[in-house]
Structure 1
Amino acid sequence: MVQKPAPELSVEDIERFGPDPLGAFKVNLARVEERIAKACERAGRDRAAVRLLPVTKTVPAHVLRFAFAAGIRSFGENKIQEAQGKREALDDLAIDWSIIGHLQTNKVKYLTRFAREFHALDSLRLADLLNKRLEREGRFLDVYVQVNTSSEESKYGLSPEALLPFVDSLDQFPRLKPRGLMTLALLSTDMEKVRPCFALLRRLRDEAVKRNAALTELSMGMSGDFEEAIEEGADVVRVGQAIFGKRPTPDGHYWPGLIST
């Protein structure tokens, strides 16, 4: 398929991403890569052991063409409908799509058509529906089991106590390929409060992998705390605003994103 030409930027695009999104994304991506490398060095880890998953939620599909041109090939989306629309708009690009947010059961049929991995598996009902749908599609799906390590009622995910029984049931769903555990840490700039969430997930992983040897990876850490997550053992870090800039959402101020122009 022929790749479509780069789009023209609207006034709103320029206000948000600057006049040169390609250059900005390249600079910001390089900065994030440098931070990952330094965090790995501090932790005595190989840089190759940590995968960066750029989070593209709220970034318009046409602007994501600049992200692709900057070398980004894996896009992480929170909302399945937004991801579906972008996937259709960018169907000429070889993109790996990851769904990292809570999935309503009535949206399962959309995810199984195109997503490569799912980072928010948190119920047996959802696992069953995904498995049945994947069977129909003739596909497999990498999954991470979400755990609520901060004990916040506003967050999705299994409680730590419910994890091991859940892990014991995963063999019932052969179309799901378990890769590890995922968490959203406490939203705080105080890393002394954030780190325990990451450390807890690591301990839970060490127990879970005894039940299912495939559950080796830890998906944890975002723009404001991914370095601490790496130091605590993260294998996948989900970074959005540090690459694409501040989001136009009520909580968009929280992680300080950088746009270089």
Structure 2
Amino acid sequence: MTDNTVSTPDQLRQRFEAVEQRIQQATAACQRETDSVELLAVSKTRSSEEIRALAALGQRMFGENYLQEAISKIEQLAELNLCWHFIGRIQSNKTRPIAEHFDWVHSVASLKHATRLSQQRPEGMSPLNICLQVNTSGEASKDGHSPEELAQLLPAYQQLDRIIVRGLMTIPAPVAETEDPKQSLKLLHILRDQLKTADNPLNTLSMGMSDDLEDAICEGSTIVRIGTAIFGPRNYN
């Protein structure tokens, strides 16, 4: 359960503009085009009203971790035609509703789950965009393929009919727990460059959050997943 103070539209606007400014400054510092990085607003535990307020400012991409909560919001906000990304841990018994409701899934760490998502994606919908999760920090507590495992499995992923492997995703170790906060980000970029082909450029790197978006952008991120810096801190009880 959560106990979050709902942000006012003005608070959301100020934080949203501040994050957009950080992205602009980071891309300029790394000599990248501003539009080469997309902002994914992580709206888990936040209200439909807050999402609606952000949508009014032009934000279209929203990321959710908790399936039932997300489906409720997707249904309530259907008329806004938003782009919904599932970024939470995938469970086998929940692949069907994920396949039926989302446009993207960032947290695919199992060929079994990807196969189920492909089989359960409705025919009337466009193929599901996925990012393959890589455990670049080697933490036992985290999901994700090792770089070596992913290199072996990638061809099997790419043969699935109703999904498109768009790129890679990682969740780095907390900055305070690593000597080089950029190491995981660098590893994902290097891995993508090793695995990409002309037929599948793997042009999406989903990495970077509120605390490290600048480092992620300079290491090649194309989607930064920002929650706290937009919505304010979350209180988990």
TM over 0.5: yes
1:128 is matched with: 115
CA deviation after TM superposition for structure 1 residue 100, in Å: 1.0
2:76 is matched with: 89
Q: Does 1:45 align with 2:32?
A: yes
Identity of aligned residues (%): 37
1:29 is matched with: 16
CA deviation after TM superposition for structure 1 residue 137, in Å: 5.4
Q: How does 1:203-214 map to 2 (within 5 A)?
A: 203-210=190-197, 213-214=200-201
Gaps of at least 5 residues in structure 1 are 1-11, 251-261
C-alpha spacing 1:212/1:102, structure 2 compared with 1 (3 Å): farther
Q: Does 1:71 align with 2:58?
A: yes
Task: Supply the AA of the counterpart residue of 1:134.
Answer: R
Q: Does 1:178 align with 2:165?
A: yes
Picking from 218, 232, 242, the partner of 2:219 is 232
Q: Distance in 1 between matches of 2:62 and 2:215?
A: 22
CA deviation after TM superposition for structure 1 residue 136, in Å: 5.0
Q: Secondary structure at the match of 2:58?
A: coil
Task: Supply the AA of the counterpart residue of 2:6.
Answer: F
Q: Does 1:17 align with 2:3?
A: no
Tell me the alpha carbon deviations over residues 203-224 of structure 1, each in whole angstroms, 9 at most, x when there is no partner.
Answer: 1001110386241221000000
Larger radius of gyration: 1
Gaps of at least 5 residues in structure 2 are none
1:158 is matched with: 145
Q: Secondary structure at the match of 1:17?
A: coil
Q: Distance in 1 between matches of 2:44 and 2:191?
A: 28
Q: Distance in 2 between matches of 1:33 and 1:138?
A: 31
Q: Distance in 1 between matches of 2:144 and 2:18?
A: 31
Does the 8 Å contact 1:112/1:137 carry over to 2? Answer: no
Q: What is the number of residues matched between the two proteins?
A: 235
Picking from 156, 168, 192, the partner of 1:169 is 156
C-alpha spacing 1:134/1:80, structure 2 compared with 1 (3 Å): same
Picking from 220, 231, 241, the partner of 2:207 is 220
Q: Secondary structure at the match of 2:106?
A: strand
Query: TM-score by structure 1 length?
Result: 0.84
Deviates more, 1:211-220 or 1:30-39: 211-220
Does the 8 Å contact 2:6/2:46 carry over to 1? Answer: no
**Deviation >3 Å, runs of 4+:** 135-139, 189-192
Deviates more, 1:27-36 or 1:164-173: 164-173
Picking from 94, 97, 102, the partner of 1:107 is 94
Q: Distance in 2 between matches of 1:190 and 1:153?
A: 14
Q: Distance in 2 between matches of 1:245 and 1:99?
A: 20
1:6 is matched with: none
C-alpha spacing 1:186/1:47, structure 2 compared with 1 (3 Å): same
Q: Distance in 1 between matches of 2:15 and 2:205?
A: 24
Tell me the alpha carbon deviations over residues 48-102 of structure 1, each in whole angstroms, 9 at most, x when there is no partner.
Answer: 1111111001102233222222322211001222211111222232211110111
Q: Secondary structure at the match of 1:210?
A: coil
Does the 8 Å contact 2:158/2:165 carry over to 1? Answer: no
